[in-house]
Structure 1
Amino acid sequence: MKNNLFWKKRMLNQLNIFCFLIMSIISLSFAKDSSNEFNNAVIAYKNKDFFVAFELFDKLCKNGNLVACNNLGILYDNGYGTRQSYQKAFEIYKNLCDKKISIGCYNLGAMYSSRLAVETVDREKALDFFGKGCDYKSTISCERYALFNKSKSYISDTNREFIFSEESNNY
């Protein structure tokens, strides 16, 4: 049982890094200084300097950079550079989803579909948030929605999505 949990956690960590790289293509129009700070935060994350990444993403999020807010949620979600807090991650993702930012909805769906993030899997809430993400034009949310909709017993270790770049149209 412990070995299975170890592999699940390891897989989730690897998926975090993978998702971080995939979502790097996302963009918002920010001043050059903000982009440099974002890039520095990404570099810090890639170098596993999570305290610096946390500080930079936190600052950018407070200044309205929604991509940085998502990444801050991921850091809280995993306890990178800060105390691990599903509650703070949830609040960040919920705020993004309420603003019709698809990645926030996807990440909420992922939280509800994973036993590691919530006490019990809530399939209906996961389906609802994946559906909202899909409505807001997130391909991965549409894929998860379809998967959950097809299988009544499907439980996922769906990982949250990290964004590596401010230059993309799909978040």
Structure 2
Amino acid sequence: MKKFLIILFSLNFLICSKSVLADEILKGFDAYKNKDYQLAFDIWSKLAIEGDPIAQNSLGVMLQKGEGTEMNFLLSYTWFKKSAESGYTPAQVSLGYIYDQGMGIDQNKIKAFMWWKIASMHGDSDAMTLLKLLSNEINENDQKIAINLADKCVKNNFKAC
């Protein structure tokens, strides 16, 4: 009985923790929607540091646009990468864009293709469209390299992508 209560308490704690986290994420989105960028940035910064992929992606967007903070492409890249490597598909699309455009980092069409391929494997329609467009820009050999990298990345749970 004691084990059962401990397990029940642990599950309840996890559920409540996720609920509080979701509430904070939503507060950030409300602030962002109301153009209170500083509040959204503050909320998402705390959550991003704690490892929340939605907050990490949202922070990446704000840093890319200079909302609530100075524009910083390199830091934006860092947050998108953390979020993408946790498996968050919207961040994978954003990271592909960062590589495609060379925003804060060296342009790398193979890496862009790789991240868009990963996001498209998760059903993201934007990634599928971007992948088709990029297919016209890079040769077949580079596409094959990117696909192999994407497969390895997914198999390794996004480690060393």
Alignment: residue pair count:
123
Contact 2:31-2:37 within 8 A present in 1 as well: yes
Structure 1 residues 62 and 119: CA distance shift in structure 2, 3 A: closer
Query: Which amino acid in structure 1 is aligned with residue 128 of structure 2?
Result: C
Of residues 88, 95, 100, the one that matches 1:113 is 100
Q: Which whole-Å CA distance do the structure 1 matches of 2:112 and 2:18 have between them?
A: 35
Contact persistence 2:54–2:83 (CA under 8 A): no
Structure 1 spans left out of the alignment, 5+ residues: 1-28, 154-171
Larger RCO: 1 or 2 (CA < 8 Å, sep 6+): 1
- In the TM superposition, what are the counterparts of 1:45-60 in structure 2 within 5 Å? 45-60=32-47
Residues 39, 71 of structure 1: alpha-carbon distance in 2 compared, 3 angstrom cutoff: same
For the structure 1 residues 119 and 41, does the alpha-carbon distance in structure 2 shift closer, same or farther, using more than 3 Å as the test?
A: closer
- Asked which structure has the greater CA Rg, the reply is 2
Give the Cα separation in 2 of the matches to 1:35 and 1:95: 19
CA–CA distance in structure 2, aligned partners of residues 113 and 101 of structure 1: 19
Matched, 1:31 2:18: yes
- 2:69 aligns with one of 82, 99, 103: 82
Moved more, 49-58 or 30-39: 30-39
Q: How far apart, CA to CA, are the structure 2 residues paired with 1:100 and 1:67?
A: 10
Task: Tell me if the contact between 1:77 and 1:84 (Cα under 8 Å) persists in the aligned partners.
Answer: yes
C-alpha distance in structure 2 between counterparts of 1:145 and 1:125, whole Å: 11
Q: TM-score, normalised by structure 2?
A: 0.65
Q: Which residue matches 2:156?
A: none
Percent identity of paired positions between Structure 1 and Structure 2: 21
Structure with a larger share of its residues in helix: 2
> Does structure 1 retain, via aligned residues, the 8 Å contact 2:74–2:105?
no
1:135 paired to 2:124:
no
Pick aligned residue for 1:145 from 131, 135, 145:
131
The structural deviation recorded for 1:132 is: 2.0
For the aligned residues, what is the CA RMSD? 2.3
1:62 & 1:118 partners in 2: Cα distance? 21
Deviation at residue 60 of structure 1 after TM alignment: 1.8
Query: Are 1:95 and 2:95 an aligned pair?
Result: no
**TM-score with structure 1 setting the length:** 0.62
